[in-house]
């Protein structure tokens, strides 16, 4: 095998060329410094390229705290404070984004900048900008070794690319590999025994490499390792096409009733679909059965344009991909079909009727889990049911970092010149969410700025 040494003068090396890595690299180049992105796949973009392209963020600290009471407040506030300046910087580069009014997120207002016309075009733009500014990308590569000096500072990395091993002297290493949503062992460890059923909604290359490398150097894992951002999607035998995840996402589950195989409710469905997705992975076979009536279906299940035109109907589309679905004229018949699918009949009938009694007659003794909002009884036929499972988009636990995006050890001391950004860092959201692209944007720029300072 060939072994060559790249003749670069100590560039800042970035592992991963998705949202966070490309932002960090572009900022470094723009500041006149040198960076190299090592990308495991043959293309840039990662999950960013598959995303809906809404770069959004809460508008103030209190909204962040309201939705993320258990998140890392210091980093959450840093995110909010740096969001608009980071957006302004992106706009100053000529980035194809535009300010849009987004729907409230769990009753909170938010800033939203939409990648236009889509995230694929944005990926192309930011990749070209990075290259135009003199950045370098090495594709199909993986880091094989990190060498530190006697002060435990990283000074060289070794990468394997095709049949070559290359050594690169580096002034800092920025981890931006996107988290561990496609690592079966880590998912089993943190999300429990049904985690192998998770549909991977994000890119397939994020297998926790940043986390593994940093922990091998003594890094500490953040809180919220058992937390992820995902959505409910049709369960097998349905097969959701990987390029059409959004069309099959059951965003409206928060208006419906969810039962598990025992026929029991297991969560307050009204919190949000993301929370229902996390709760479903803890149920037998990672399955939940979403039940709704015609009123809910027409009001929340079908997405329409302002002029009334149907934009998306995930229930109808799920039938086309062989999901377990049914539409019945009575609750009795609905329960019979559920029973045919393996859901306990008596319990499911009792729980649907109890749920209605609670919502209509305010009879709290009819249910075991109260509901905070979205009081929609299952009352108007026809009645619908669909078998769902969880799609994982992004892990929310990861490396513990400080306000400079430096990776911390278990004594909360920065590990010299090692940084972590985007999905590789954890704890900002904890069993809650607040946008994924904004993390890469804000902390990508912060890590880059600090790595430059360190270089000098």
Positions touching ligand FAD (CB under 6 A) are 15-21, 38-41, 46-48, 50-56, 142, 176-178, 201-203, 205-206, 209, 245-246, 393-394, 422-423, 435-438, 440
For ligand FAD, the closer of residues 111 and 201 by Cβ is: 201
Token code pair at residue 31: 């500041």
Residues facing residue 37 across a β-bridge: 14, 137
Q: Where are the alpha helices (DSSP H) in 192-272?
A: 209-216
- Least distance in angstroms from the C-beta of 423 to ligand FAD: 3
- Least distance in angstroms from the C-beta of 128 to ligand FAD: 16
For ligand FAD, the closer of residues 28 and 50 by Cβ is: 50
Q: 291 with 399: CB under 8 angstroms? A: no
Q: Where are the alpha helices (DSSP H) in 16-165?
A: 19-30, 46-50, 61-67, 73-92, 119-132
- Least distance in angstroms from the C-beta of 399 to ligand FAD: 12
Q: Residue 273 — φ and ψ, nearest 5°?
A: -65, -35
- Least distance in angstroms from the C-beta of 51 to ligand FAD: 3
For ligand FAD, the closer of residues 338 and 448 by Cβ is: 448
Q: 326 with 319: CB under 8 angstroms? A: no
Token code pair at residue 178: 């996107």
Token code pair at residue 75: 């980093």
DSSP 3-state of 214: helix
- Least distance in angstroms from the C-beta of 18 to ligand FAD: 2
- Least distance in angstroms from the C-beta of 289 to ligand FAD: 24
Helix (H) or strand (E) holding 299: none
- Least distance in angstroms from the C-beta of 304 to ligand FAD: 20
Nearest CA to 287 among 326, 327, 342? 342
Which residue has the closest beta carbon to ligand FAD?
18
Alpha-carbon span 391 to 274, nearest angstrom: 10
CA angle (228, 231, 235) in 5-degree steps: 120
Burial class (CB in 10 A: 0-12, 13-18, 19+), 32: exposed
- Least distance in angstroms from the C-beta of 48 to ligand FAD: 4
Burial class (CB in 10 A: 0-12, 13-18, 19+), 251: middle
Query: Starting from the edge strand earliest in sequence, which strands make up the sheet with 110-115, in order?
Result: 54-58, 110-115, 97-99
Residue in the structure block whose two tokens are 């890392």:
72
Residues facing residue 419 across a β-bridge: 174, 406
- Least distance in angstroms from the C-beta of 4 to ligand FAD: 19
**C-alpha count within 13 angstroms, C-beta hemisphere, residue 252:** 21
């Amino acid at each position: 095998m060939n072994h060559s040494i790249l003749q670069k003068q100590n560039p800042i090396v970035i592992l991963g060329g998705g949202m966070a890595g490309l932002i960090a690299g572009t900022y470094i180049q723009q500041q006149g410094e040198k960076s190299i992105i090592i990308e495991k796949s043959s293309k840039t973009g990662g999950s960013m390229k598959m995303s809906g392209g809404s770069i959004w963020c809460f508008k103030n600290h209190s909204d962040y705290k309201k939705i993320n009471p258990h998140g890392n407040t210091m980093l959450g506030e840093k995110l909010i404070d740096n969001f608009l300046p980071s957006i302004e910087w992106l706009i100053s580069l000529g980035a194809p984004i535009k300010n849009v009014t987004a729907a409230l997120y769990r009753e909170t207002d938010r800033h939203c900048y939409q990648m236009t016309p889509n995230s694929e075009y944005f990926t192309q733009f930011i990749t070209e900008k990075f290259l135009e500014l003199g950045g370098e990308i090495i594709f199909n590569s993986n880091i094989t070794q990190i060498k530190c000096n006697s002060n435990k500072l990283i000074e060289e990395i070794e990468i394997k690319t095709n049949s070559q091993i290359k050594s690169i002297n580096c002034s800092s290493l920025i981890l931006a590999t996107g988290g561990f949503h496609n690592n079966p062992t880590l998912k089993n460890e943190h999300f429990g025994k049904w985690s192998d059923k998770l549909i991977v909604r994000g890119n397939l290359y994020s297998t926790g490499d940043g986390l593994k490398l940093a922990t091998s150097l003594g890094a500490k894992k953040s809180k919220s390792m058992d937390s992820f951002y995902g959505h409910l999607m049709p369960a097998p035998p349905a097969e959701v096409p990987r390029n059409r995840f959004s069309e099959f996402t059951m965003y409206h589950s928060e208006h419906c009733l969810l039962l598990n195989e025992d026929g029991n409710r297991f969560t307050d469905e009204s919190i949000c679909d993301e929370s229902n997705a996390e709760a479903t992975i803890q149920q037998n076979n990672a399955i939940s059965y979403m039940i709704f009536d015609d009123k809910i279906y027409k009001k929340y299940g079908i997405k329409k344009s302002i002029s009334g035109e149907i934009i998306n109907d995930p229930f109808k589309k799920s039938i086309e991909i062989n999901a377990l679905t049914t539409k019945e004229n009575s609750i009795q018949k609905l329960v019979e079909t559920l029973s045919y699918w393996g859901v306990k009949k008596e319990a499911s009938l009792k729980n649907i009727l109890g749920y209605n009694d609670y919502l209509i007659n305010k009879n709290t003794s009819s249910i075991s889990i109260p509901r905070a909002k979205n009081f929609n009884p299952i009352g108007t036929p026809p009645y619908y049911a669909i078998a769902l499972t969880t799609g994982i988009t992004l892990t929310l636990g990861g490396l513990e970092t400080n306000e400079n995006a430096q990776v911390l050890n278990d004594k909360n001391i920065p590990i010299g010149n090692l940084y972590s950004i985007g999905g590789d860092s954890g704890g900002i959201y904890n069993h809650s969410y607040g946008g994924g692209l904004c993390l890469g944007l804000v902390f990508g720029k912060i890590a880059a700025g600090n790595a430059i300072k360190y270089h000098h």
